């Protein structure tokens, strides 16, 4: 118990803020991803052969549709974001594709409106985001750009150098989890990950003051739980959720959960849910702001992504690209396989020439 308390209190220093990237392994663009717009509706970036495709569903993955844009080389990976019934899809570099297209859609058809960034996207699952009326992108060179809906014109907003003149921060992603509040996540060699925040829809950004001690740092961007912001951090084989009343902090650390390896994190409307490796499978835990970690049970397999759609259910993926996992978040946890149609695994079978 003393060890857990010591780890928890070591995460927060004076004026701290909060951390990095959404569901699943922080910042990983090489994993399947769900972007759910409702309990049963949403999209997924999914592996298919050597390519990545976009799937859509209206019924919790019982039936799926191909939403992948045509004539776009997706072998390098895709980044997907959604807001206000609009999708933004970023294409990561691949061979001769050295700049990144970004395509937007209203999600009702396979029609995508293309635009092109001046250079490549950052290799991160949160390199593209949607705010209320704009698309955002973080480039590999540290630039942050935005494109207001209907303009197809990318405008530079800020950069890693402007935010951190010491040049120690590498921007890794952007998110707008609520209203005018948004976050830019960044990694540092020392003193660890950083978080930059805006409360005016991205017009201005400032350092939230996050400073994390430890080694093997991983962090996710904050999510909104009721009136509280919650931001998970994994460091030194423990997972801690930082909470704050305002996006700018100050942040306080809750109890630490032992979590060796890569933890997987998602937020429900009332709590944070975490999947951590235990023996030959994963165990799920949850924590509400101001509360303690509660064990939900084991899932009987190793998850690679987890996206909660309510307080009681989530969708997940493991190493089998032919199925989606439907997860009941009650205690005990229950997992059901939802098989995907055979064409999902075959349409991306051959490399696309550039």
Tens of pLDDT, residues 109-164? 668 999 999 999 999 999 999 998 899 999 999 999 999 987 879 999 999 999 98
The answer to whether 80 and 128 have CB atoms below 8 angstroms apart is: yes
- What confidence score (pLDDT) does residue 15 get? 32
Instruction: Return the C-alpha torsion angle 23, 224, 90, 320, nearest 10.
Output: 20
| One pLDDT digit (tens) per residue for the chain, 354 residues | 333 333 333 434 333 322 233 344 566 778 899 999 999 999 999 999 999 999 999 999 999 999 999 888 899 999 999 987 789 999 998 887 889 999 999 866 668 999 999 999 999 999 999 998 899 999 999 999 999 987 879 999 999 999 988 777 788 899 998 778 899 988 776 556 678 899 898 999 988 766 666 665 667 888 999 999 998 888 888 999 989 888 888 888 899 999 988 899 999 999 999 999 988 889 999 999 999 999 999 998 999 999 999 999 999 999 999 999 999 998 899 999 999 999 999 988 765 544
What are the chain's domains? Answer: 2-346 (2.130.10.10)
Cis omega (within 30 of 0) for bond into 144: no
Distance CA 42, CA 61 (A): 9
Omega within 30 of 0 (cis) for the link into 86: no
Are the beta carbons of 327 and 318 closer than 8 angstroms? no
d(CA 215, CA 226): 31
Rounded Cα gap, residues 191 and 211, in angstroms: 6
- Contact between 293 and 287 under an 8 Å Cβ cutoff? The reply is yes
Asked if residue 300 lies in contact with residue 281, where contact means CB atoms within 8 angstroms, the answer is yes
DSSP-derived secondary structure for 130-184? E-SSEEEEEBTTSEEEEEETTT---EEEEEHHHH-TTS-EEEEEEEEEETTEEEE
Cα–Cα distance for residue pair 30/77, rounded to 1 Å = 7
Element (H, E) at 83: strand 78-83
Beta bridge partner(s), residue 324: 338
Q: Which of these, 157, 170, 97, lies nearest to 129 by C-alpha position? A: 157
Residue 274 near residue 255 (C-beta atoms within 8 A): no
| Angstrom distance (rounded) from CA 126 to CA 171 | 10
Question: What digits encode the pLDDT tens for the residues 285-321?
Answer: 999 999 999 999 999 899 999 999 999 999 999 999 9
299, 308, 307: which is closest to 336 by C-alpha?
299
pLDDT of residue 236: 82
Residues 314 and 306 sit within 8 Å (Cβ to Cβ)? yes
Distance from C-alpha of 352 to C-alpha of 277, rounded to nearest angstrom:
36
How far is residue 231 CA from its own chain's centroid? Answer: 12
174, two tokens: 């952007």
Element (H, E) at 346: helix 343-346
């Amino acid at each position: 118990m003393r060890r857990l308390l010591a780890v928890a209190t070591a995460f927060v220093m004076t004026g701290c803020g909060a951390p990095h990237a959404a569901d699943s392994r922080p910042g990983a663009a090489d994993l399947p991803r769900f972007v759910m717009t409702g309990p049963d509706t949403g999209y997924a970036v999914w592996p298919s052969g050597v390519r990545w495709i976009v799937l859509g569903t209206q019924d919790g993955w019982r039936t799926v549709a191909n939403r992948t844009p045509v004539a776009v080389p997706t072998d390098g990976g895709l980044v997907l974001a959604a807001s206000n019934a609009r999708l933004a899809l970023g294409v990561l570099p691949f061979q001769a594709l050295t700049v990144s297209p970004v395509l937007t859609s209203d999600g009702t058809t396979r029609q995508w409106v293309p635009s092109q960034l001046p250079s490549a996207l950052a290799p991160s699952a949160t390199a593209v985001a949607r705010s209320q009326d704009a698309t955002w992108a973080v480039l590999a060179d540290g630039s942050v750009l935005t494109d207001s809906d209907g303009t197809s014109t990318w405008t530079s907003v800020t950069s890693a150098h402007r935010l951190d003149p010491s040049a120690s921060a590498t921007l890794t992603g952007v998110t707008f989890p609520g209203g005018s509040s948004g976050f830019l996540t960044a990694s540092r060699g020392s003193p660890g990950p950083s978080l930059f925040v805006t409360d005016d829809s991205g017009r201005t950004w400032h350092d939230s003051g996050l400073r994390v001690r430890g080694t093997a740092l991983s962090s996710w961007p904050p999510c909104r739980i009721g009136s509280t912001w919650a931001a998970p951090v994994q460091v030194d084989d423990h997972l801690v959720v930082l909470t704050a009343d305002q996006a700018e902090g100050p942040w306080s650390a809750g109890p630490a959960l032992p979590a060796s390896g890569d933890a997987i994190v998602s937020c429900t409307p009332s709590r944070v849910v975490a999947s951590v490796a235990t023996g030959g499978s994963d165990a799920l835990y949850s924590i509400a702001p101001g509360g303690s970690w509660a064990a939900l049970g084991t899932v009987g397999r190793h998850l690679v992504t987890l996206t909660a759609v309510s307080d009681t259910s989530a969708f997940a993926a493991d190493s089998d690209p032919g199925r989606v996992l439907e997860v009941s978040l009650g205690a005990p946890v229950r997992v059901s396989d939802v098989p995907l149609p055979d064409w999902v695994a075959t349409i991306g079978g051959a490399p696309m020439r550039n």
